[in-house]
Amino acid sequence: MRRWHITQSFEAVPFVIVVFDHLITLDDEINTIWRNPTVGLASKVAFVVNRYLTEAVIAYTVYSQCRRFIWVFGIACVVAGAISHFIVLLRVYSLWDRRAIVARMLTLAFTGSISAITVLGVFAAIQMQPELSFLEPLHICVLGSTPKVIVGLLGVLVGKSVLFVDVVIHLSVLAVVLRLFPPDTRHIQRHRSTSTHAI
């Protein structure tokens, strides 16, 4: 009986902490997100999905079955990761003065990485189904063996993260440099002025 209470508390504690954190920061959320006229609709939707989806998944996993949990958790991770990366990409895009070439590069990289993660995640979840079992003494789900496709999934995640950080850093640094040291266009203006007088 004591072990049962410990395992039940082990599952309930993370959910209680998340709810408590939400309650104590609710005023900041209302003032910063919902009452802030500078926050657009897309940012509000991204905030709702990123924050409330996490809480919903944590609440669901307290009572979910093992095989169903894998699908819900995987989908939630892909959605939350895509939203957080997309927000950063929008920031980089705005730093580059909304240039078309930057938009195409970021869109291509984002679409490719998210597609690869989604496909590999689905294959990993399918391979995990027969290997999942419920460990009654600890009241947890355990995996009998590691799916082969998980190696590719982890490789894509690591590579995507490294590439993403590298691209963001380089684009941000270049944007800052261009703002601090804008290209000298005085000779162009002088040339245009000379051409006008000559005509």
**What local confidence, expressed as pLDDT, does residue 114 receive?**
81
Supply 3's token pair. 């072990």
**What local confidence, expressed as pLDDT, does residue 10 receive?**
56
96 pLDDT more than 80? no
Q: Which one is predicted more confidently, 76 or 12? A: 76
109 pLDDT more than 70? yes
* pLDDT per residue as tens digits for the range 19-78: 888 899 889 888 888 988 888 887 788 788 778 877 887 777 666 566 677 777 777 777
**What local confidence, expressed as pLDDT, does residue 91 receive?**
76
Coil, strand or helix at 177? helix
Q: Which one is predicted more confidently, 152 or 114? A: 114
**What local confidence, expressed as pLDDT, does residue 95 receive?**
74
**What local confidence, expressed as pLDDT, does residue 104 receive?**
86
Supply 124's token pair. 């990993």
Mean of the pLDDT values across residues 82-86?
A: 78
- How far is residue 167's CA from residue 112's CA, in Å, rounded to a whole number? 15
* pLDDT per residue as tens digits for the range 174-188: 666 667 766 554 444
Coil, strand or helix at 134? strand
Q: Which one is predicted more confidently, 90 or 23? A: 23
* pLDDT per residue as tens digits for the range 123-169: 777 777 777 766 666 666 666 666 666 665 565 565 556 556 656 66
Label residue 1 by pLDDT band (50, 70, 90): very low
DSSP string covering 66-132, please? Answer: HHHHHHHHHHHHHHHHHHHHHHHHHHHHHHTTT-HHHHHHHHHHHHHHHHHHHHHHHHHHHHHGGGE
